[in-house]
Amino acid sequence: MRKWIHISIHTLKTMENMKTTLITIFILFSFQSFGQIKDSDLKPLPLPDFVIESNEIIYREIIEIEGTKENLHSTGLKSISDLYRSSKSVIDLNDVESGTIVVKGNLPMTLESYYVFMGYKPTTTTYIVSHTLTIESKENRIRVTITNFKFESAIDMNGTLELNSKIDKQYIDKFKTLKNSNNLKKPEIATLHAMSLILNSLDITVDELMKDILKNYKNSKNDDWQ
């Protein structure tokens, strides 16, 4: 039996709704027959250390930075303009008085899985995951929060499938329950592996998005938002 596994990360900044990191996880398996696939070949990736609040996965950074609330608010708008192709269409709230910007955007994540046996063709699926980005500014401080992740669609060789399911604590609990189950069948093992890829891809993608947002700020971290 021969097996190759390759994982690569690419950057794409020409998507319709955002100009940010597109994570492509490319996995290639070549087997002589389906019966030769071992459970170890589809071992799930370790679960990222997610922070959960009110059942939602949440990413948050509080940054100390010199500047007025108005100037920091303007910097936040510039970050959004740099990251989203059509920033006006994704901004859900722009409140200068409170220093709050809320963005409803999309994260594209492409997972390419190739199972080569009995002439089976490779399948590439791009998941469109919506998210909410909030940038709050006040005197000498900003808070950036990214949360509310939900599958919007899955695009593969068969077309586009509309989805409506969240990536949250319940999704993580399903992953953990399946992982702790005994005597899993091959389809269940493959599902577990795919879920681990989605969760890790989400973690990498959001981490890159957070870094891109903060590029416009010279900052130091502080967990206090008082």
Is position 202 within any domain? yes
Task: Flag whether pLDDT at 187 surpasses 80.
Answer: no
In a domain, 189, yes or no: yes
Which pLDDT does position 216 carry in this prediction?
84
Burial class of residue 204, CB neighbours in 10 A (0-12, 13-18, 19+): middle
**Is 187 within a domain?**
yes
* 156 within domain boundaries: yes
The helices-and-strands tally (H runs, E runs) of the chain is 4, 9
Would 29 be classed as within a structural domain? yes
Assign 44 a pLDDT band (cuts: 50, 70, 90): confident
Share of the chain above pLDDT 70, in %: 73
In-domain check, residue 172: yes
Q: What is the pLDDT of residues 146-184, one digit of tens each?
A: 999 999 988 877 778 888 899 999 999 999 999 999 888
| pLDDT digits 0-9 by tens, 51-93 | 999 999 999 999 999 999 999 999 999 999 988 888 778 999 9
Contact 26, 122 (CB under 8 A): no
User: Which pLDDT band, with edges at 50, 70 and 90, does 125 fall under?
Assistant: confident
Question: Quick check: is 87 in a domain?
Answer: yes
Q: How many folded domains does the chain comprise? A: 1
pLDDT at 113: 60
**Structural domain that includes position 141:** 23-42+49-221
Max mean pLDDT range (16-20, 22-26, 120-124, 187-191): 187-191
CB 199 within 8 A of CB 15: no
**Is residue 193 over pLDDT 90?**
no
pLDDT of res. 185: 82
User: What CATH number has the domain bearing residue 157?
Assistant: 3.30.530
Give the C-alpha separation, 140 to 12, whole Å.
33
Within a domain: 9: no
Please list, in sequence order, all residues whose beta carbon lies within 8 angstroms of the beta carbon of residue 125, skipping any fewer than 6 positions away: 110, 111, 112, 113, 154, 155, 156
